[in-house]
Amino acid sequence: MKLKDKVCLVTGGAAGIGKATAVQFAQDGAKVVICDVNAEAGESLLLSLGEDASFYKVNVADRQDAQNWVEAVMRKYGRIDVLINNAGITRDNQLVKYKNGELVNQMPEADFDLVISINLKGVFNCTQAVVPFMIAGGGGVILNASSVVGLDGNFGQTNYVATKAGVVGMTKTWARELGRYNIRVNAVAPGFIATEMVAKMPEKVLDGMRGHTPLGRLGQPEDIAKAYAFLSSDDAAFITGAVLRVDGGIVVGT
């Protein structure tokens, strides 16, 4: 019960890594507050998170929506101890694709903007909304979802990689700015994780993921959730500005 009675917010908490994190935190005694754009999945998850849990439908890319959510949480719980910036999407495409010397495809500007707005600006929106309340409360923990591709790059993911690299930069900056207020800021960089989205990929692709991971398997959402739980707890009291790879040893692209 390392997180007993701590008020912990998880964005994108209705599925995948966010869902596993919400479940893990509830098991560790936290009062879990999840937000997501999928209201049906979010409300369903509440049944397994305990009577102190809450769900809010929130678009983290919408600054006012994020602010309203955080203020509603404060009215209900009176404090915020942990923020997990987990919400994210992909819209993969090559920067440009040529065939027989002709341009045949490229990443649409709308797909670039959408991924940036959720994966990067969404992290900015939620963190900026939460931090004043953490300062008033004497401190807190902010954890941001990066990715190994944000550190190594990845074919066909210009937009996604840009956001995950940007998250690392923001993490290091905020650790410097907010340490004086007893706020720790860290990032977790997952490798290939067996979420619902990944599970739908062809078996040949999954075999390739496993083959490039030294531990020989895909990660489970629970592997990331446990990393978040550790970094949120007092066991990590002297860790800030760090990027923790939870990836089975993979180096993307090799």
Burial 214-251 (b: 16+ CB within 10 A, else e): eeeebbebbbbbbbbbebbeeebeeebeebbbbbbebe
Number of other CB atoms surrounding residue 177 within 10 Å? 12
Bridge-based pairing of strands 96-99 and 102-106 is antiparallel
Does residue 160 have an active-site annotation?
Answer: yes
> Which position has the token pair 């998170």?
49
Give the integer Cα–Cα distance in Å for 149 and 5: 34
Q: How is residue 42 written in tokens?
A: 């979010």
Structure tokens at 95: 């920067």
CA distance 171 to 123: 10
Which is the catalytic residue, given 98, 160, 181, 228? Answer: 160
List of long-range contacts for 211-215, beta carbons under 8 Å, 24+ apart? 212/250, 212/252, 212/254, 213/247, 213/248, 213/249, 213/250, 214/248, 214/249, 214/250, 215/248, 215/249
Least Cα distance to 130 among 74, 58, 65, 59 occurs for 74
Cα–Cα distance, 52 to 32 (Å, whole number): 7
State whether residue 250 is helix, strand or coil. Answer: coil
Active-site positions read 160
